Structure 1
Amino acid sequence: MLQPVLAGVVTALVGFASSFAVVIAGLRAVGADPAEASSGLLALCVATGVTAVWLSVRYRTPMTIAWSTPGAALLVSTGAVDGGFPAAVGAFLVAALLVVAAGLFGPLARWIAAIPAPVASAMLAGVLLDLCLSPVRAVVETPLLALPVIVVWALLTRFARAWAVPAALVVAAAGVAITRFDEGLDATLRPTVALTAPTFELGAVVSIALPLFLVTMAAQNVPGMAVMASYGYRPPLRPALVTTGLGSAIAAPFGGHAINLAAISAALAAGPDAHPDPERRWIASVSAGVGMTLLGLGAGLATALVVLAPPVLIEAVAGLALLAALGAALTAALTSADSLSGGREAAVVTFVVTASGVTLAGVGAAFWGLLAGGAILLLFRRRSDRPVDVEVLGADEATDRAQ
């Protein structure tokens, strides 16, 4: 009994410490103030934990749940939208309801899984690029704080990969505490619950809700199922989508952007290290869910550290956490491109447009990247006069490395 419990605790600790900075950076980018960002992090922790416990107990399967890390990176790249944070919350709610619809309406999930892999992976890479450039900017702007973070990350990536980002975050927090601890940290340590009434703006729905839905499905839920299958489990996808979608919808008014099936952390709970007996590994995901819920009580402290730190330093930690995801997305975009007529061109166009960060007609670059890539595929299909071979997404498992 102790082995799966400890495995779950490690899963929760690594998942929280490795990517909460990405979540807070994303919420702040779309207009959340510190209290709203802290509330969003707490809501995600509770929604993740409760959902994981429910699904694991209900199906006696190690179904680990995580927040959408690439979705948070999408928020960073999108930035503020018309209508401010209430409009972003409305977009979170729309994305959550789309996930529920995918669970209730089977063909919708299959349509998402059938998005051509080069286009989907290139969009994800474009979303991640700006954050992954942050460590370079941080070295130039705050070298005394950034260099120790990067050195620790590099060393542990070589010798203890799972702890590389958490350790880098500890070093960053220590640097912030030493240099800026007298700036009011104590006043923000309490868990914060802030309710934001959603508003619905077309620009926010197109810029945030649709890309968030696509990224969460393609880069989290699909590979999460694949990881579970690799360990011999066949969890029910449709109930999982409905449950995580409802969890996201409940968390949205409190600032949470999205929760989903985990991928890499699913391996921590579903693999033999969790327990030799596959029938007992569900205990690990229950333990992870409880641990994540309890870690949510530290959302105030986590947010305070992020707010006090130079923004580029927190973005640098987030970028380090997402470097593996960027590499995997680029690889998937280019290696799968050869299976499609015009696939390589479509992948490059999608990546470039998405990475540009442009906003046109109030709509963010991720949407326009998908549109541009799809147009290139359609152009080549007409030129070659043969159907495009649709490839089911080999979604990026590394995007959830920290989860």
Structure 2
Amino acid sequence: MGEMSMNTILRLALPLALLAAPAAAQTGASGTTPQTLAQQMFAEASAAIGNADYEAARRLLEAALDLKPAHPAVLRGLAIVALRAENPEDGFQALERMARAGIAFDPEPLEDLLRTANTARFEAVAGQLAANSAPVGQAEVVAEIDRPGALIEGVAIDIETDRLFVSSVTGREILLLEPFARDEPRVFADQEDGLWSVFGLAVDDRTRVVWAGSAAIEQTPLEDGETGGTALFAFDLVTGDLYRRYQIDDAVQIADFTVRDGTVYASDSQAPRVYVLDSVSGELEVLAEDPRFVSLQGVALARGALYVADYAMGLWRIDLGDRSVSLVRGGTESLIGIDGLRQTRDGRILAVRNGTRPHQVMAIDLDADGHAVASTEVLLRGHPAMTGELAEPTLIDPADGRAWLVANAAWPRFPAEGEGPGGEQPATVILEIDLP
């Protein structure tokens, strides 16, 4: 293991969503949530490892895993504890759980310990872990946006005209890609319309409106004296004219949303709230507010309920009748680190997982009552555009049996306010996927 302490290794294994959850999402009236309890357990496990109390560390991590099922960092922690404790059975179990969760992990640090115990079992799980990174599915590159300094996050299709819309975080704009000129984006709306950084996009076929979630964040290039904010914007699909800007008190970052029949459901990625707008002439209202929310991302409608991805927790289900909130019971595949989330017409949920390796697009099928995952299917993994170390797939938009995906958003190249992209920035790739 070298000279690095186990305490340091565990801290490095923790993803940002677990280390730095939004303050508003960390505590409820009782002062504790699954998030804060898991953080406490993880810290205590780290201390136990430092004291060579490996059994206590294992039990604490198992308890954290009950709160955050199939969390990659916790599973990695269990593997490391098994190695330090020289316990091959615990090591096998940690790796096998990672394999079942669809997580990529290099088992080399545990190889000597596990091969000595059971060579055949080690080779089997090592093969399963390697298979988790193997390419799956096919996708066509339909656009390459060579716009230096741009951080492209969202995509939406107008299926009637085949026009694509993409959003720029650093450009503070929505770009339009015509079907006959996919690689020649033109500005559809920008900061003159009041936009800050632009994240999620959606085209509402019923109202012929382009919706956009916008907010000021660290990467937003604000003018001197300009103040930030967040809002949901509606633009005329044909002219690009701003129809209306919807704001609500206490919102921090309205970024991802879904639209059906003129109703918009939007998440706040920096506050524990989900909003609803029931018509283009209405007002944003709070649909659900829950201290258990940590880092809300994509939104989808299925089984008569609203599903919201939580980067640190999995999937939340919000009942549209009584507005009750519950965590969806996962299947074998890890639901941690999901960013984009959208529904298809046949009731499947499409999820873009970029918070752990491997990056992938998967379809989630729910059980009959919509409270648990019945099965998952990996639709796309290992595409060359998705595999760069400094790029990640983000948002997806399905329509007409296909889906369009931002394959390589350059978030790691834009670390903080005032800094440009680090190193050479490749063109942003938009992929088209045929859905099964």
Q: Could you tell me the TM-score, scaled by structure 1's length?
A: 0.22
CA radius of gyration, larger in: 2
If each structure's helix is expressed as a fraction of its own residues, which one has the higher value? 1
Q: Relative contact order (alpha carbons < 8 A, sep ≥ 6): 1 or 2 greater?
A: 1
If each structure's strand is expressed as a fraction of its own residues, which one has the higher value? 2
